[in-house]
Structure 1
Amino acid sequence: MKKSKQTNVLMVIIMQVIMILGFMSQLPQTNEAAVENEPIISKTAKPVEGMVNQWDVTLKVENLPVERPVDVVLVVDISSSMKSAVLLNGKLTTRMEAMRAGITTFTKSFLARHPDNRIAIVPFSDRLGTIQSFSHSQTEVVNYINKLQVFGATHIQTGLNKAKELLKAQPIEVNGKKVSRNIILVSDGVPNISFLPKDKNDMLPYVNGIDRMDMEASDSEVKYYTKKTIGEFDYANNAGIGGDPTLLISNNIPDININPAIKQQYPNATFSTYYSHINSTIAEASIIKNSTHPLDSSSSLVDNIFSIGLDKASLGAHAPYMEETLSGVSTSGDYFSVTSQEFASILDKIERNLNGLFKEAVIHDPIATGFTLEGEVSNQNASHGTVTTTVNNNTKQPELTWKLDNLKSTDYQFSLTYRLSANQAVLGEGIIDSDGLAETNGITTFTYVNSVNEQKEKQFIVPKVRPIIVSLEKELLNETGKKIPDSTKEFNVKLGEDEFTTKDNYQLLANNQVVRIVHPWKANVNYSVTETLQAGEEYETTIKVNNQTTSGLVTKFKFASTEPNYTHQHIIVTNQQILRVKQVKLNVRQVVLNPNEDLVIPTSGYMQLAFDQQQEPSYFLLTGSTLVNEANNITQELFTHQQLSLKNNKILELSDIVPEYYDLYGYLVTSEDGKLITEHVSDNPTLVKNKPQVILDYSEKTEYWITFFIEPKLSPNEKYPRPYSWDYRVNKFNSVM
């Protein structure tokens, strides 16, 4: 019984493992391995369903929460101006209540994100309020927030200084992970109290030949202000008790402490010195930014100082002072100017910057040569951020810029999808690799600012796709099926009849030219291949598509229904010249000149006939033989007439088989019978040719008249001919040759 229970438990464990593995196999895949504390980026190209040479390209960015503890000091203004009335969600309340609601929501969300996240709160007015030390407890911090009270003036510097002290006292690591240290300053006003400089010379305009204060001058008055670069303060002593952002130090400055050149430039001016509470506050922030942690000199004391100005418009003429103060305090050089209504959303964005791997990012995505961006790509194509399209001046290709900013704390996954089509330019040199693949994009960069204000860059792995090529080739064959490779004749071939093939109308030469075509096609749809011949043209036409041959001027081809099965299409359109029978006439006679009474005068002529310059004669021809050589006596009846039927053969060779003891004097050829009387005589030296063969070209003519002239010929040592015999074979004519 125990054994059975153990077996059942083992089976349950096995099934759970299988289920877990199955679940993991269904998780989305990326083309980049996760690197700790780095955003995960991926880029894919997915074939568009039902289309060839079209892909949906998707860029994905995962800004997963930082797996490290984060400390935040909230430095919050509780001066009297925070009692001012504001609207929050349509209800009248105070600025203090709006801030209280915002930091309460922030506290709950921030502390829930990571077990080691902590918050401290430093309230300030003209002095520090009760401090909330670093805590993980939502309840503790929220209870503290609910007890905050409003009073006094605005001493921002004292709040920043206390935040500095708190951060210096914290460990640099928690559970083996480095802590990110941050300050969030919230104020609705302008500093009107600050600490005195530790070095009294920082309150004198000119000491030992060095200008120590900022100057604002006119002909009547020269004012000097303490600088933003003060390095140390006397934190036990304040300058001012509230009111203006500056405080008069002295209007009776010794001459030794006034630059002589300034005194000479403004001889009639009065000279006075002032504390600048704004500059001292900015100087305090600079001290914090430049400080390192006491336990690790390689670590900055603070990663970020965020500053938020509430309801700047309520300050009137003093609004620029808020902007100067808070932008000078923040690590990024800018600040968030918001209404009380907007305050909570800005804290949400800051929370995202604290927890995410990046605060903002820019993706630069150039489209590769050989691909067309389909349609307008805009913000609608992206899950977040803004998308703009420009054209590269060199490549003339579109380039996308995708900006990710103004992100919420709950935004961690982002995507951008657009559609590409392959075009003719993908056939350019070096674009398609040896595997038949082409990259859809150029170098795609991901530039981001991380949670500690470092700018970093990564590159997407660019996807490769397989463009499908349609090749179109023309062959021209003669009547016997032999290629005519150098033809200059053009043939019209058109592909398809849809919106993608409107320009697929080609004039092809049969000169081994191959036209390669790349553009989108529909999958599993019949596309036509149509040849259009000119009027009067007749050919035997076949069209071969990937070794499948059909006869006629039109055929069909189509791509498979799914991408893995798409194949290149090789189309060969072949035209063969049609074999034609041509009826021609051949009129031949033989004339014996200067007959010898000791020789037999031939009564017939024997000719041999060859077609298209064949080496061996094809036929023999028997003709009449006569002595008639007088112009007026030559008639058509003296010729032997033959009707020939020619298919392929256009050239005939005719030669006279001259009898023994005779020799060929020559021949005469005309293509008109009207010239027989005047030209077919032997004493016509301009026309009589003394060659062994007559070449007859029937490509343009349909009839020839030929006269062969022979004459007796004995060798010099022969007075009489010796015995001889003639034996020639003949064939029947009037058949197709």
Structure 2
Amino acid sequence: MNKVIRFISKLGLVLIMLLSAFVIGTPENVHALAADPTDSNRVTVDKEAKLVDGKVNTWDITLDVKSLNKQSTETTNVVLVLDVSGSMSNYMNSLKSAASLFVNTFLNDPNVRIGLVTFETNPFLHNAGGSGNRYATTSAQKQTLLTTINNLSTGLWTHTQGGIHDGMLTLDNGPDADNDIMILFSDGEPNRRYSGTDPNYSYPSHINDSTNSSSSSSNAFTAGKHAATLAKNKGYEIFSIGFNVNSTTRTFLQDVSSGAGTHYHAATAGNLGTVFANLAGQISTDYGIENAQVVDIVAPGFTVIGALNATVGTATQVGNTITWNIGRMDGAGIKNATLTYRVEINDSILNVTPDPDGKLYPTNTSAILKDLEKAGFSRTFPVPKVDPVFIKVSKSLVDQDNNTIVDTDRVFDVELKHTSIYTAYTSIKAGQTVILTSLRDIANGYKVTETGSNDGLINDAEFSDYTIKYTINGVVTDLFNVVKSTSVISSMDDILIGIENKYTIPTTSITAEKLWSGGDPASR
């Protein structure tokens, strides 16, 4: 049930209090979040504004995104390029276990064909599917590949450039596929390369040819990046995995990968299985959205307060623009991501034109989701609209006969106060209405007081010549409460405060005493 606010003028008599109760409601745009996606609409979005409990003029904004991920039916060539240099001697069992987990994921999936290249002092292409078969495609061939992985042993140096190059040649000679992917695993700095200088390296003309390999470790990082660039320029996607590497090697592996979401770091041997499993999940999944980004523009009249809270990805704010980088929502089935932040109104809302009914204001100009990997893909979020509570203070001057005094010069000071949570000041002239946007809390005991004038035209003595009458929503009182109600109505009323100053002509008491002189007073 919608929460609403009841405004009650506080009067001395209970009967009058009951007769002067004012209810103000809050249409909060509360509705279900994004509908579940379907095969025909695999990405759905929604947005809501919900009044914060215990508050007015403050809302929690929630953006909701859902994506339907399905089992991929595309054909994919995958080449595992594994570092088996000497530094891996103590970790080979963990690598074998992780790589085997990856292969087992696709054991019965002929759409995923897997090749294997290892590198140490030199690179080496294995017949992943048995004699003469560079790829393992059938279940039987993948069982052969599992045996090959289990029999791997370590060498000496780290020829990363050679491993990447042989991985590229394996993809070059693979069967036609929808996707061509290289997964590069390494635990350390490259220290071997082909002879020559960047970009003129003496690459071998065929796989498993080490004749041009150089023992020099200088510029081995640059050489590895060059080989990766050649592969990526052919449209091949490179995922990289760093195992317990230093910052320099980690940066190198990030550089050779295909960008955001394609580099993984395993801090310990125990993490390797998780990393390879995640990669298998990416390859086997047809994602509803690959690289989601939401741009949400907060409307004039609203200020974001507090943090941006995203369940997936990261969100940042520059000015009135919130950018939520979701990326890919991993996993099978329907996946969900939400962004929540809080807004309150500010004075610039007074310059915004509300809906034709004069009540509702949009909390944002627009919010659009795009898939950065799919040109033309977008979803538009609905625009929540809310009903703020304004305090409107109006001023009038009358003479002792209740005739309006037209006076545009005198300025009166007004204080609105709650003893513990609220103080607001404003200055106002006769005939004016001042609108305040600062009310925030549901509470009892708000009070309005005209404190005087500081314009130099009215001194304290003259101010005392005015009698002051306060009315709040038509009821004579200077007190009001803002409290919860369970009533449901369609709009929210503003708090209307009237302050009338009646000028009274000062009276003077004169006492006279009559004295007679001369003659007999009785005869006069």
Q: Which amino acid aligns with 2:97?
A: A
Equivalence for 2:398 = 477
1:470 deviates by: 1.8
Q: Secondary structure at the match of 1:124?
A: strand
Equivalence for 1:543 = 470
Q: In the superposition, relative to structure 1, how do residues 433 and 115 fare at CA in structure 2: closer, same or farther (>3 Å)?
A: farther
Q: Secondary structure at the match of 2:95?
A: helix
Q: Does structure 1 residue 118 correspond to structure 2 residue 89? A: no
Q: In the superposition, relative to structure 1, how do residues 147 and 234 fare at CA in structure 2: closer, same or farther (>3 Å)?
A: closer
Q: Secondary structure at the match of 1:185?
A: strand
Segments of structure 2 that go 5 or more residues without pairing to the other structure are 1-29, 130-134, 453-459, 511-524
The answer to whether the 8 A contact 2:57-2:344 is kept is yes
Q: Which amino acid aligns with 2:181?
A: N
The answer to whether the 8 A contact 2:79-2:167 is kept is no
Q: Does structure 1 residue 97 correspond to structure 2 residue 93? A: yes
Q: In the superposition, relative to structure 1, how do residues 143 and 427 fare at CA in structure 2: closer, same or farther (>3 Å)?
A: farther
Segments of structure 1 that go 5 or more residues without pairing to the other structure are 1-25, 86-93, 173-179, 195-202, 204-212, 216-223, 248-275, 292-299, 585-737
Once the two structures are superposed, residues 572-607 of structure 1 have per-residue CA deviations (whole angstroms, 9 ceiling, x without a partner) of 2223345888999xxxxxxxxxxxxxxxxxxxxxxx
The answer to whether the 8 A contact 1:191-1:281 is kept is no
Q: Secondary structure at the match of 1:84?
A: helix
1:158 deviates by: 2.8
Equivalence for 2:146 = 145
- For 2:31 and 2:354, the matched residues in 1 are separated by 32
Q: Which amino acid aligns with 1:332?
A: G
Equivalence for 1:370 = 301
Equivalence for 2:9 = none
Equivalence for 1:427 = 350
Q: How does 1:189-588 map to 2 (within 5 A)?
A: 190=190, 214=197, 225-226=200-201, 234-235=205-206, 238-240=209-211, 244=215, 288-291=231-234, 302=236, 304-312=237-245, 329-332=256-259, 335-336=263-264, 338-339=266-267, 341=269, 342-348=271-277, 350-351=279-280, 353-354=282-283, 355=285, 356-357=287-288, 363-375=294-306, 377=307, 381-390=309-318, 392=319, 400-404=322-326, 412-428=335-351, 430-435=352-357, 436-444=359-367, 446=369, 449-450=372-373, 460-486=381-407, 488-498=409-419, 501-503=422-424, 505-510=425-430, 512-523=431-442, 525-532=444-451, 537-539=464-466, 541-546=468-473, 548-550=474-476, 554-556=478-480, 558=482, 561=485, 564-578=490-504
1:426 deviates by: 1.0
- For 1:308 and 1:442, the matched residues in 2 are separated by 42
Q: How many residues align?
A: 448
- For 1:513 and 1:472, the matched residues in 2 are separated by 8
Q: In the superposition, relative to structure 1, how do residues 83 and 522 fare at CA in structure 2: closer, same or farther (>3 Å)?
A: closer
Q: In the superposition, relative to structure 1, how do residues 284 and 387 fare at CA in structure 2: closer, same or farther (>3 Å)?
A: closer
- For 1:498 and 1:578, the matched residues in 2 are separated by 32
1:409 deviates by: 5.2
Q: Secondary structure at the match of 1:238?
A: coil
1:472 deviates by: 0.9
The answer to whether the 8 A contact 1:348-1:408 is kept is no
The answer to whether the 8 A contact 2:60-2:342 is kept is yes
- For 2:449 and 2:38, the matched residues in 1 are separated by 54
1:473 deviates by: 0.3
Q: In the superposition, relative to structure 1, how do residues 146 and 456 fare at CA in structure 2: closer, same or farther (>3 Å)?
A: farther
- For 1:78 and 1:487, the matched residues in 2 are separated by 85
Once the two structures are superposed, residues 13-42 of structure 1 have per-residue CA deviations (whole angstroms, 9 ceiling, x without a partner) of xxxxxxxxxxxxx99433998796875444
The answer to whether the 8 A contact 1:75-1:160 is kept is no
Q: Which amino acid aligns with 1:129?
A: H
The answer to whether the 8 A contact 2:240-2:256 is kept is yes
Q: Does structure 1 residue 77 correspond to structure 2 residue 82? A: yes
1:516 deviates by: 0.8
- For 2:480 and 2:68, the matched residues in 1 are separated by 52
1:541 deviates by: 4.4
- For 2:435 and 2:35, the matched residues in 1 are separated by 32
The answer to whether the 8 A contact 1:438-1:465 is kept is yes
Q: How does 1:652-691 map to 2 (within 5 A)?
A: none
Q: In the superposition, relative to structure 1, how do residues 35 and 468 fare at CA in structure 2: closer, same or farther (>3 Å)?
A: farther
Q: Does structure 1 residue 54 correspond to structure 2 residue 21? A: no
Equivalence for 2:15 = none
1:513 deviates by: 0.7
1:104 deviates by: 3.9
Equivalence for 1:597 = none
Once the two structures are superposed, residues 530-582 of structure 1 have per-residue CA deviations (whole angstroms, 9 ceiling, x without a partner) of 34565563555443333x332x6x24354663685531222222233458889
Q: In the superposition, relative to structure 1, how do residues 346 and 558 fare at CA in structure 2: closer, same or farther (>3 Å)?
A: same
The answer to whether the 8 A contact 1:74-1:120 is kept is yes
- For 2:442 and 2:251, the matched residues in 1 are separated by 60
Q: In the superposition, relative to structure 1, how do residues 328 and 46 fare at CA in structure 2: closer, same or farther (>3 Å)?
A: closer
TM-score by length of 2: 0.67
1:514 deviates by: 0.6
- For 1:400 and 1:38, the matched residues in 2 are separated by 24
Q: Which amino acid aligns with 2:152?
A: V
The answer to whether the 8 A contact 1:387-1:400 is kept is yes
- For 1:32 and 1:469, the matched residues in 2 are separated by 38
Q: Which amino acid aligns with 2:95?
A: M
Equivalence for 1:45 = 49
- For 1:432 and 1:140, the matched residues in 2 are separated by 68
Equivalence for 1:130 = 127
- For 1:32 and 1:519, the matched residues in 2 are separated by 39
Q: In the superposition, relative to structure 1, how do residues 482 and 186 fare at CA in structure 2: closer, same or farther (>3 Å)?
A: same
- For 2:428 and 2:221, the matched residues in 1 are separated by 80
Q: Secondary structure at the match of 2:126?
A: coil
Identity of aligned residues (%): 21
1:69 deviates by: 2.7
1:53 deviates by: 0.7
- For 1:558 and 1:340, the matched residues in 2 are separated by 58
- For 1:464 and 1:35, the matched residues in 2 are separated by 31
The answer to whether the 8 A contact 1:77-1:188 is kept is no
Equivalence for 1:161 = 169
- For 1:521 and 1:80, the matched residues in 2 are separated by 65
Q: Secondary structure at the match of 1:235?
A: coil
CA RMSD of aligned residues (A): 4.8
- For 1:513 and 1:340, the matched residues in 2 are separated by 71
1:427 deviates by: 0.6
Q: Does structure 1 residue 184 correspond to structure 2 residue 183? A: yes
Q: Secondary structure at the match of 2:341?
A: strand
- For 1:163 and 1:460, the matched residues in 2 are separated by 41
1:66 deviates by: 5.1
1:330 deviates by: 3.1
1:366 deviates by: 4.9
TM-score by length of 1: 0.50
1:56 deviates by: 0.4
Q: Which amino acid aligns with 1:425?
A: S
Q: Secondary structure at the match of 2:364?
A: coil
1:54 deviates by: 0.7
Larger Rg: 1
